C-alpha cells in the first residue's frame, strides 16, 4: 500500500491556494504549499490589490473634477503619479504579511 507524506498539496499560493492550505492545516491535515513565484499570487502582486488601490486614486481625482457641479469653487488638485504608485506599493506591503511564507510555515 502506498504511503503519502501529505494529506493535501496546494499548487500555487494565490488566493485559492492560500485559503485551501490554511483551512486544511486548521483541520490538522499535513499540507504542502507550492509556489514558484510570489506568495499572494496575481491578486496581491499585480491584480486585485494594486488595481483597486490605483482605481481609488483615479476615482478621487474624478470626484474632485466634478467639484464645481457640487457647488465648490476653485478646487484644483495636482497629482504625482510616483506618489500614487508609492501608495499602491504601501497597500501591497500592508497585506503581504497575511500571505507570507512565515505565516504559512510551522
> For 36-93, what is each residue's pLDDT tens digit?
999 999 999 999 999 999 999 999 999 998 999 989 988 888 999 999 999 999 999 9
Question: pLDDT category, 2, cuts 50, 70, 90?
Answer: confident
What whole-number distance in Å separates Cα of residue 97 and Cα of residue 105?
12
Does any domain span residue 3?
Answer: no
Q: Return the residue matching grid coordinates 507570507.
A: 100
Question: pLDDT category, 21, cuts 50, 70, 90?
Answer: very high
- Angle of the 81-95 helix axis to the 48-65 helix axis, nearest 10: 140
Four-residue CA torsion sign, 60, 62, 67, 69: negative
Could you tell me the pTM of the whole model? 0.80
Does any domain span residue 17?
Answer: yes
User: What is the domain count for the chain?
Assistant: 1
Four-residue CA torsion sign, 47, 53, 56, 60: negative
CATH number of 33's domain: 3.50.50.60
Domain span at residue 90 reads 8-99
Does any domain span residue 62?
Answer: yes
Does any domain span residue 105?
Answer: no
Are the CB atoms for 13 and 39 separated by under 8 Å? yes
Does any domain span residue 106?
Answer: no
Amino acid at each position: 500500500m502506498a504511503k503519502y507524506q501529505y494529506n493535501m498539496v496546494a499548487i500555487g499560493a494565490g488566493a485559492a491556494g492560500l485559503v485551501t492550505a490554511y483551512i486544511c492545516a486548521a483541520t490538522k491535515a499535513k499540507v504542502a504549499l507550492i509556489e514558484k513565484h510570489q506568495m499572494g499570487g496575481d491578486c496581491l502582486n499585480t491584480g486585485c490589490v494594486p488595481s483597486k488601490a490605483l482605481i481609488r486614486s483615479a476615482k478621487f481625482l474624478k470626484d474632485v473634477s466634478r467639484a464645481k457641479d457640487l457647488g465648490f469653487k476653485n478646487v484644483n488638485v495636482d497629482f504625482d503619479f510616483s506618489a500614487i504608485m508609492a501608495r499602491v506599493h504601501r497597500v501591497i506591503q500592508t497585506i503581504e504579511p497575511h500571505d507570507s511564507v512565515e505565516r504559512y510555515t510551522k
